[in-house]
Amino acid sequence: MARRKRYTPEVNKKTALMVNVTSLTDMFTVILVFLLQTYNTSEVQLEPPPDLRMPTSQSEGVLTQGLEMTLSKESLSIGKEILAHVNGKDFNANDKDPKDPNFIPALFKSLEKVSKETTVKAVKDGQILLIADRELPYAVIKKVMYTASMAGFPQVKLITTSQ
């Protein structure tokens, strides 16, 4: 039985190797556009209330501008306007919707009002910076996020302190 000889194509060793850089330039252009869109140079200054103990985090993400909302063990507020009262573990019964216990009507109305009156792009895009007390149960924060998403604010960022 004879072995077959392996096929090897003829290579002209005197020609120069040509590299097609068009696709490489396209890739770098896409990467550059992505980096420019995600790069943020602005700083956001937030002042939490003195009685609020914020959770800690070790992430180094850059904070973007948005609507500032404060959730303490006593109340939920936007700026200095108190929208609902918290009794430590949950919102007061008169601050929740009787048909949907996860819905906070006063927050919904306030967010709709803010979205109509604002000119800040981040707020128009639905970004909220939520400053919450670290001892609050997740169920309370979830009700705020649920109501905010119903009002057209789907991007809720929980603000923490760094160690």
d(CA 65, CA 40): 10
pLDDT digits (tens, 9 = 90+) for 3-25: 777 877 777 777 776 777 777 88
What's the DSSP call for residue 96?
Answer: S
pLDDT digits (tens, 9 = 90+) for 67-123: 888 898 888 998 888 899 998 788 888 989 899 989 999 999 998 888 888 777 767
Tokens of 80: 């200095």
Of 118, 120, 115, 102, the C-alpha closest to 151 is 115
Please check whether the domain covering 56-162 is classified as CATH 3.30.420.270. Answer: yes
Model pLDDT, residue 58: 65
CA distances from 83 to 45, 47, 64, 70 (A): 23, 19, 24, 10
Tell me the DSSP string of 15-53. SPP----HHHHHHHHHHHHHHHHH-----------TT--
Strand partners, 142: none
d(CA 160, CA 147): 21
Quick check: pTM over 0.85? no
Question: To which residue do tokens 């009794």 refer?
Answer: 87
Q: For the chain, how many helices (H) and strands (E)? A: 4, 7
Query: Where do the structural domains in the chain lie, given as residue ranges?
Result: 56-162
Name the amino acid, one letter, at 121.
K
At 139 the three-state DSSP class reads: helix
Q: Looking at the chain, how many residues does it have?
A: 163
Tokens of 139: 């169920």
